[in-house]
Amino acid sequence: YFVIPVVNVDGFYTIYEQYMKTGELILKRKNNDRSNEGDANCPLQTQGVDINRNYGYLWGNEEGPCSESYPGPHAFSEPESKAMRSMLYKYQDTIKMVYNFHAFGPMYVWPYNGQLDNQLEEENPDAQAIFNEIWDGASFPSTTLRGNAIKTVGYKADGECNDYIMKQFNIP
């Protein structure tokens, strides 16, 4: 097993640092890469790159660097997503399943998050069967939403980690 508790270490540290200074938790989903043009004018919470939008499948969005989900100047521009990609290439024959946990709410999210109409069942019925089996066999809270990003959070998530892993490595 590989357990990676936090990919966005410097973003996590910013939350911790602000809490120690002010006693308040800030919402920050991005890393602390401040090399992007225009980023210096962004509030602290929106500076940086959303690492979970920095992967190479359906990468990109129309929003600028102050956007909460800014994907960076190009796919894999960030050391965190590069490190994950390298690990996946190294262990692609060993890894059988990847699940990307988030703390936003009671949701069980699976690929493809960059699609409005999820094509997972048509493109990879075996992977969809695995996600369904987990859903059917687990005890999720009754308020848990399931599906891709459109079904759970209500928006597309281009350049998302699990979409890339499914497309590039065929790992659910």
What average pLDDT does range 34-43 have in this prediction?
A: 76
* Interval 53-98: pLDDT, tens: 999 999 987 788 899 899 999 999 999 999 999 999 999 999 999 9
In the predicted structure, residue 12 carries a pLDDT above the cut 70:
yes
Tokens (6 digits) for 170? 């065929």
Q: CA 26 to CA 45: how far, in whole Å?
A: 7
Q: CA 87 to CA 166: how far, in whole Å?
A: 15
The residues near 35 (Cβ < 8 Å, ≥ 6 apart) are: none
Tokens (6 digits) for 101? 């946990």
Contact indicator for 51, 75 with CB cutoff of 8 Å? no
Q: CA 73 to CA 65: how far, in whole Å?
A: 9
Contact indicator for 26, 54 with CB cutoff of 8 Å? no
What is the pTM assigned to this prediction?
A: 0.91
* Interval 107-162: pLDDT, tens: 999 999 999 889 999 999 999 999 999 999 999 999 999 999 999 999 999 999 99
